[in-house]
């Protein structure tokens, strides 16, 4: 009986993980697409992929109907963090809740199979449930923080190219579009945000509203300062290129200061591994022979 239960739980978790990976992935591998074009008919390149995507979307839509809605304040917080982590699909929040339920089931099943619950059933099962509930939140927060760091590091390069484009005679909208095309390989996350800003302006949203949506969507302080600069420049009619150049220099100075701060913290961070791992090994190597010699001499006197 425990063996069959473990097999069922393991299979269910594997299916959930594969479904979530396919749902959150940005698409198929580019090399696979290029190789697939060699044997696909010219007019049916995206038919198989679209059919698979529709099938997965229909399955997820049916599953997410049984999950509670995210109309509460906590649900809105999850949706905001999902967007900041780069997951913009409508069913991303529902899939996140589904993954949380699957992880809770996995931890409870793992505790039951391994027999750890025998030490203290109530405490162990409650810990497994709490851990399964909080672990996805921690992962999502870390994913959003990493993406914000990538946006923060990519912003000075994008500003330099934006200034060059505007000084060459392009408007702000055309310059944003050009930056989104040129930096797509080096900084894909920032280019995706710029493409979304251009798309919002093309469908009728004003430039100020699109920039404000960018600042709210990303949650990066440097991008919020950039948006404030662009809004102020647009309102007062000052030179956008000069304002962006000054802001770019300020961002580079901030990035250098962050690097110096991280370098200053290394000495403190190295203290724990030095004290608990490196120094004991050095003491054993240096003082070990002396201690053995002293014990040998003292044994002879006895």
143 shares a domain with 35: yes
187 shares a domain with 105: no
**What's the gap between Cα 120 and its chain centre?**
36
Kindly report, residue by residue over 197-232, the tens digit of the pLDDT.
988 888 888 888 888 888 888 888 888 888 888 888
Token code pair at residue 230: 């662009």
What is the pLDDT confidence band of residue 27, given thresholds at 50, 70 and 90? very low
Kindly report, residue by residue over 66-75, the tens digit of the pLDDT.
555 554 445 5
C-beta of residue 28 within 8 angstroms of C-beta of residue 48: no
Question: Cβ neighbours of residue 183 under 8 Å, at least 6 residues apart?
Answer: 154, 157, 158, 161, 190, 191
For residue 46, the number of C-alpha atoms closer than 13 Å in the C-beta half-sphere is 4
**Host H or E run for residue 185:** none
- Assess if residue 104 is contained within a domain: yes
C-alpha to C-alpha distance for 233 and 196, rounded to whole angstroms: 21
C-alpha to C-alpha distance for 140 and 124, rounded to whole angstroms: 24
Check whether 121 has a pLDDT greater than 60. yes
What is the pLDDT confidence band of residue 28, given thresholds at 50, 70 and 90? very low
C-alpha to C-alpha distance for 119 and 109, rounded to whole angstroms: 16
Check whether 267 has a pLDDT greater than 60. yes
C-beta of residue 86 within 8 angstroms of C-beta of residue 147: yes
Kindly report, residue by residue over 96-117, the tens digit of the pLDDT.
888 888 888 888 888 888 888 7
Cα-flanking dihedrals φ and ψ of residue 21, to 5°? Answer: -65, -40
**pLDDT the model gives residue 16:** 67
Query: Average pLDDT for residues 18-39, to the nearest whole number?
Result: 52
What rounded mean pLDDT belongs to the chain? 78
Cα-flanking dihedrals φ and ψ of residue 148, to 5°? Answer: -65, -35
- Assess if residue 279 is contained within a domain: no
C-alpha to C-alpha distance for 230 and 211, rounded to whole angstroms: 8
- Is pTM beyond 0.75 here? no
Question: Cβ neighbours of residue 173 under 8 Å, at least 6 residues apart?
Answer: 198, 201, 207
- Provide the 8-state DSSP code for 25: S
85 shares a domain with 57: yes
**What's the gap between Cα 156 and its chain centre?**
20
Number of domains in the chain: 2
C-beta of residue 26 within 8 angstroms of C-beta of residue 188: no
- Assess if residue 161 is contained within a domain: yes
Query: Average pLDDT for residues 120-149, to the nearest whole number?
Result: 88
237 shares a domain with 109: no
Check whether 5 has a pLDDT greater than 50. yes
Please state whether 238 falls in left (phi above 0), alpha (psi between -120 and 50) or beta. Answer: beta
Q: End of a domain among 100, 123, 147?
A: 147
209 shares a domain with 121: no
Q: 66 lies in which domain range?
A: 2-147
223 shares a domain with 123: no
């Amino acid at each position: 009986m425990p063996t069959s239960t473990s097999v069922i739980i393991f299979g269910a978790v594997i299916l959930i993980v594969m479904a979530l990976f396919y749902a959150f992935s940005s698409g198929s591998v580019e090399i696979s697409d290029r190789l697939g074009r060699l044997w696909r008919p010219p007019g049916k390149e995206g038919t198989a992929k679209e059919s698979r995507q529709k099938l997965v979307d229909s399955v997820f839509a049916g599953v997410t109907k049984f999950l509670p809605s995210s109309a509460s304040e906590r649900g809105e917080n999850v949706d905001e963090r999902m967007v900041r982590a780069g997951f913009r699909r409508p069913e991303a929040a529902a899939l996140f809740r589904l993954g949380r339920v699957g992880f809770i089931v996995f931890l409870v099943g793992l505790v039951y199979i391994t027999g750890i619950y025998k030490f203290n059933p109530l405490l162990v099962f409650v810990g497994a449930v709490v851990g399964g509930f909080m672990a996805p939140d921690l992962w999502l927060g870390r994913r959003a923080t990493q993406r914000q760091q990538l946006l923060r590091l990519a912003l000075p390069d994008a500003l330099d190219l934006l200034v060059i484009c505007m000084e060459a005679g392009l408007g702000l909208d055309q310059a944003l579009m050009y930056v989104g095309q040129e930096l797509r390989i080096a900084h894909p996350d920032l280019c995706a945000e710029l493409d979304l800003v251009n798309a919002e302006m093309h469908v009728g949203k004003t430039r100020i509203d699109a920039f404000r949506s960018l600042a709210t969507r990303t949650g990066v302080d440097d991008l919020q300062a950039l948006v404030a600069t662009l809004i102020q420049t647009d309102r007062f009619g000052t030179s956008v290129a000069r304002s962006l150049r000054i802001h770019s220099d300020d961002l580079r100075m901030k990035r250098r200061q962050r690097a110096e701060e991280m370098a200053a913290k290394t000495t403190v961070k190295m203290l724990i591994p030095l004290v608990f791992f490196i120094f004991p090994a050095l003491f054993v190597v240096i003082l070990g022979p002396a201690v053995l010699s002293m014990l040998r001499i003292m044994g002879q006197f006895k």
